[in-house]
A and B are shown apart, each in its own frame.
Chain A
């Protein structure tokens, strides 16, 4: 009962945020260079005046601003994002076709970064004053400071060009005609480089978060009790400290994960991964504003969905937190 209300509240909030983003998109279209009629209609500058006037009438651009805004918002409420002007295809269809690849990439990267980040962070927390702990944190700082797109390029250089271990581009081997398990294996091989390079940056963040969170948890009374009981430090670390530090880590990680969509734009561009990030790069190069804004809306929606899921998982996992807030 409580969860049902909570979900409704969160969805209500999400709708408001998405509504504000739609309004932001509408304002951005007004700011975009060129005629909004041309942008909305999905036509390049080639159209003649008469045609543009027709378009203006059809899209209601001769109407006052608030009517236009209403039309735009109600269009998006019915999943009508207009047309991509270079491709002549509905923006919604384009995004839907590319979404699975992005979800696969960001999902894999999230799991890799979370697992490795928690392992590295708890190792660093257990070795606070030792050089090995400092080395882990120094590495985390280096990964944090490295530009994502550069790591991606350098990994292509090392693992595809010099070592020739992994494919550098694409989603699967074109023309190989794999099916079934062979196809899954092929996609997995293509996934390794993009997912690990995207994961590195977030792994660095999660390593720092885990360490802080575990050092906080280690200050708690029950840890002192466990130590006084004479439990082995390794057992205390695993059973008492890590378990209690884990929940806040996962929550914070979930909130950070929204930014992964942004990182995916860079990795997908380097690896020609056919997701919405690569689509955004293509839209950028063509100055396809309507497509660009559609993808922007979807990436924000992804972040919101992710946040709601994290929130619900957190509340389900930790019964101490009640529906409030």
Chain B
């Protein structure tokens, strides 16, 4: 069975993929449909949804277009989710690979280090990091990456430990390949499927983290994000429910879609394991 056929067997994953594609389309179309900055005040404030043409989701406390904010926010969420996950992979994969491949003392030290990062409450550390580095897309990406790499390191380590004594690795060693070549060319490609599955779930978590940070006022002040929109509308929830309702639905759908896609990838990439459940 082809990869996509296996993926599509999981109906939830297909739904997730469709939602995800729609959100990606939102992000791409944002500058075309709403070329103006989503920060610009374009109408009178507190305009309810569907009350005026061009403002399907109404306006916020400052008279900014909620629909425009929602679409521009999609871009920021996806960007931060993807980049911070990539950075987390860049930290976690090498650490896990080295720990799992060499074992012994190096493994001990690296794993203690990983455990330390796992003990610290993720969200509190992310808050402190962003607050101290000052809120910006870069600091948010770094903070999210710094709190989310430990599971990657653990996964990659476990994979490397189970693969390092396989015959093909022994053969590579016998031929005289260096450790670096064996790690990168022989073992790493065989650990890719679980890493891909984990990464798709991490993008989801990263988007949740980013929205939580910007909800607390730690978003990049120059980019419109869903979390910021909800945070700014928090105090006017009684007067204007739509200001916090729609961005929240957007976050929920994105995170849900990524989780569904992750499960589908898991089914497609590890067919033997997932069929049992």
Contacts and interface: CB of A to CB of B under 8 A. Distances in A.
B234 A300 contact: no
Contacts of A156: 237
Given A147-B251, A157-B237, A262-B121, A284 B218 contact: yes
Interface of A is mostly: helix
Interface string B101-145: 000000000000000100111111101110111100000000000
A292 interface: yes
Contacts of B237: 153, 156-157, 161
A266 B128 contact: no
B131 A284 contact: yes
Interface residues of A, number: 50
B216 interface: yes
Interface string A265-293: 11001100000000011001101010011
A221 B133 CA distance: 55
A154 B131 contact: no
Contacts of A303: 119-121
Given A262-B121, A300-B119, A149 B230 contact: yes
B245 A32 contact: no
Interface of B is mostly: helix
B182 interface: no
Interface in A227-284: 258-259, 261-263, 265-266, 269-270, 280-281, 284
Nearest to B257: A145
Contacts of B134: 33
A265 B255 contact: no
B131 A292 contact: yes
A58 B122 CA distance: 34
A150 B241 contact: no
Contact of B128 (A149, A258, A292): A292
Contact of A149 (B212, B238, B245): B212
A28 interface: yes
Contacts of B211: 147
Given A20-B116, A259-B122, 10 more contacts: A32-B132, A141-B256, A142-B256, A146-B252, A149-B230, A150-B248, A150-B251, A296-B124, A296-B128, A300-B124
Interface of A: 17, 20-21, 28, 31-33, 128, 138, 141-142, 144-150, 153-154, 156-157, 161, 212, 215, 258-259, 261-263, 265-266, 269-270, 280-281, 284-285, 287, 289, 292-293, 295-296, 299-300, 302-304, 307
